Amino acid sequence: MDRHHQLTRTLSAVLVAGVLASAAGARAADPPTPQLALSFKPAQKGVEYDIPDKADVEKCKVQVERSGKSSGWIVYGPAGQILRRFVDTNADNVVDQWRFYQNGLEVYRDIDSNFNNKIDQSRWLNTGGSRWAVDANEDGQIESWKMLSAAEASREAVRALVARDEKLLATLLITAAELESLGVSADLSKQVLASVADPARQLRDITGRSKTVTAETRWMRFDSPPPGMVPADDGKATSDVLVYEHAMAIVETGSRPSLVQLGEMVRVGDVWKLTQVPRPVEESVEIPAGGFFMVPAGGAPLGDVPNQISPEMQKLLEELQALDRDAPAPDAGVQVLSRYNARRADLLERISKLARTPDERAQWIKQMVDGIATAVQTGAYPQGLERLTALEDAHSKSRSGENADLVAYVRYRRLLSQYTTDLQAAVANANDRAKVQDWWLAQLEDFVTSHPQAEDAPGALFQLGMALEFAGKTDDARTWYAKLARQHAATEPGQRAAGAVKRLDLTGKPFALAGPGLTGGAIDTRSLRGKVVLVIFWSTWCKPCTEDLPQLRALYDEHRQKGFEIVGVNLDTTTEPVQPYLRQHRVSWPQIHEPGGLESGPGREFGIISVPTMFLVSKAGMVVSRSTSVAEVKEKLPELLKAR
């Protein structure tokens, strides 16, 4: 019996003793120790959940939980947050569910569904995802999925490539039984099954020669055009089939991003399956192979159109690759950089004209526009602004429906480039800078009014709210933030805007913030009730943050014993520079950190737009100031500490 089963038996024995003692009306048995309860780990690898520091384990508490026929234990962290739940759901006095939490939310659950004291299912929940895996033979290896989103399937596919895990890969590939359940025609099924045949050999061949995927490769995100529906009357299947065409996974090895081709993905019930073995995109130019379902009826067989790329297109792609391989260094000089960026834009424009479909043409044009805009804003292609203006005019005059989105796309990047250029020119003159800001606000408002459904509309709305807030027009900023949060709630800017509205309305309201500690465990400001708390959103690259530290250290040393506490919320994108910085500047107060910088969980929750941002909170947990300064803290702290 392995350690997991031994621990389960031990925990279950304690649970039985507690239930029997309670049933007899006697005092319940002592609960398991936090050390025992926290020694359990998820059956599957890579789960992110709260693990308290060794020093904090003794501060954790374990309590009995009973509800109907269910009973078990809850493990609470030092700040009162839930860390684990161990549950007996069928009243047989044996634990059959092991639940793991992060920031107060359950993110993962192991399940013994047949009550034989062995895990046979695993679920990722809430912020942990929506995967639901089945381990029918209870050997710790996933064999199938009850639920798997397309994004999570792409993550698992990358994990299989990195780990050379042929068993995991096999769970992601579509099967004959699944094709039959969709009613896929015999000929089409034969093609699909040939593509996924002998996955172990294919995996060995692919990973053996890959220079893109290594042991350090990390999945970043799923990338694909929107899914398409192949109708049942199209002749490919007896039921409608939902398909992602040319799906990709964006990965990163070290600091180098790259792509993994996933090909067509098909939804079977609640699970997205791959119709080919994933392949890293190596240094040579590769165009995703044609699919199975998104092929016109009566079209050429898959084997006849592996790339669907003309010799002229191939030649241009190779020229683009050679150009990028010999790209000049950032300090090569404006003339050299301008020639490079102009040449690159020329190639992308020519490639776009050879594209097979409107969507493909739009993608190449967007790539060209992005490159020009970036070069203009960094001073590497001053003439690019004229080119963006000409592109915007050309697409605006076209009556083709496919240009509607492109007009907005080009216009927004032209506006950003113009704003950056004008602001740099006005850097020495305050009046000129004010005029540029007024122009920018007017352009943003016109853009979101003219293009309310553009893909850049959420970002433009957030820029508008942010610019107004920086200009001191808080009420106007709140109005635009609220509109963004209401109209684009599912987007990242929409979530940050909702946080900004929350932040702007904080004064006089109860305050609560919880998050993972920089060195482990969790921090919850609600555990600091009875103290005056200064919450500081900061980063190591923020010069004013560093300049404030001597005064903040002095305040902390002077008033900490009187009931003053500081909680830092670090907004660096990674933890790497943070600990050395804290040691160098002798910062001793607790720190919350989540990856992502301003887009991290705490950054989004309060819509933080600049650092430092500081909240001053009273002993009663009410926000005294949502945008305080060190001087204001010095002024208000003595009276706040006297309050009861």
Q: What is the CA radius of gyration of the chain?
A: 29
Q: Is the pLDDT reported for residue 28 higher than 50?
A: no
Q: Is the pLDDT reported for residue 286 higher than 50?
A: no
C-alpha 157/C-alpha 252 separation (Å) is 14
Banded model confidence at residue 296, pLDDT cuts 50, 70, 90: low
Q: Is the pLDDT reported for residue 300 higher than 50?
A: no
C-alpha 262/C-alpha 275 separation (Å) is 8
Banded model confidence at residue 21, pLDDT cuts 50, 70, 90: very low
Q: What percent of the chain has pLDDT over 70?
A: 91
Cα of 279 vs its chain's centroid, Å: 23
Residue 267: DSSP 8-state:
E
Compute CA distances 338 → 251, 351, 384, whole Å. Answer: 30, 20, 8
SS3 sequence, 53-113?
A: CHHHHCCCEEEEEEECCEEEEEEECCCCCEEEEEEECCCCCCCCEEEEEECCEEEEEEECC
Q: What is the mean pLDDT of residues 77-90?
A: 90
Do you know the residue count of the chain? 644
* Per-residue confidence (pLDDT) for residue 431, from 0 to 100: 92
Q: What is the mean pLDDT of residues 205-211?
A: 81
Q: What is the mean pLDDT of residues 245-252?
A: 87
Banded model confidence at residue 327, pLDDT cuts 50, 70, 90: confident
Banded model confidence at residue 1, pLDDT cuts 50, 70, 90: very low
For the segment 456-514, what is each residue's pLDDT rounded down to a tens digit?
999 999 999 999 999 899 999 999 999 999 999 988 899 999 999 999 999 999 999 99
C-alpha 168/C-alpha 160 separation (Å) is 6
For the segment 422-431, what is each residue's pLDDT rounded down to a tens digit?
999 998 899 9
Q: Is the pLDDT reported for residue 590 higher than 60?
A: yes
* Per-residue confidence (pLDDT) for residue 252, from 0 to 100: 83
Q: What is the mean pLDDT of residues 106-117?
A: 92
Q: Is 613 helix (H, G, I), strand (E, B) or coil?
A: strand
C-alpha 559/C-alpha 566 separation (Å) is 11
Banded model confidence at residue 254, pLDDT cuts 50, 70, 90: confident
- Are residues 588 and 555 in contact, defined by beta-carbon separation less than 8 angstroms? no
Query: 218-227, 232-241, 621-630 — which is least confidently predicted?
Result: 218-227
Q: Is the pLDDT reported for residue 27 higher than 60?
A: no
Q: What is the mean pLDDT of residues 94-120?
A: 91
* Per-residue confidence (pLDDT) for residue 220, from 0 to 100: 85
Q: Is the pLDDT reported for residue 437 higher than 90?
A: yes
Banded model confidence at residue 17, pLDDT cuts 50, 70, 90: very low
Q: Is the pLDDT reported for residue 633 higher than 50?
A: yes
Cα of 452 vs its chain's centroid, Å: 25
Q: What is the mean pLDDT of residues 442-455?
A: 93
Q: Is the pLDDT reported for residue 408 higher than 60?
A: yes
Where in 391-494 does DSSP place strands (E)?
none
Query: 305-314, 415-424, 539-548 — which is least confidently predicted?
Result: 305-314
Q: Is the pLDDT reported for residue 103 higher than 90?
A: no
- Are residues 355 and 361 in contact, defined by beta-carbon separation less than 8 angstroms? yes
Q: What is the mean pLDDT of residues 505-534?
A: 94
Q: What is the mean pLDDT of residues 445-460?
A: 93
Q: What is the mean pLDDT of residues 615-629?
A: 97
* Per-residue confidence (pLDDT) for residue 23, from 0 to 100: 31
- Are residues 578 and 593 in contact, defined by beta-carbon separation less than 8 angstroms? yes
Share the mean pLDDT of the chain: 87
Q: Is the pLDDT reported for residue 528 higher than 60?
A: yes
H helical segments located in 280-330: 311-325
* Per-residue confidence (pLDDT) for residue 309, from 0 to 100: 63
Banded model confidence at residue 24, pLDDT cuts 50, 70, 90: very low
* Per-residue confidence (pLDDT) for residue 591, from 0 to 100: 96
Of the segments 3-17, 99-113, 387-401, which one has the largest average pLDDT value? 99-113
Joined tokens for residue 323: 């150009």
The amino acid occupying position 515 is G
C-alpha 558/C-alpha 561 separation (Å) is 8
Of the segments 186-195, 223-232, 242-251, 553-562, which one has the largest average pLDDT value? 553-562
Q: What is the pTM of this model?
A: 0.56
Q: Is the pLDDT reported for residue 214 higher than 90?
A: no
C-alpha 506/C-alpha 483 separation (Å) is 19
Q: Is the pLDDT reported for residue 145 higher than 90?
A: yes
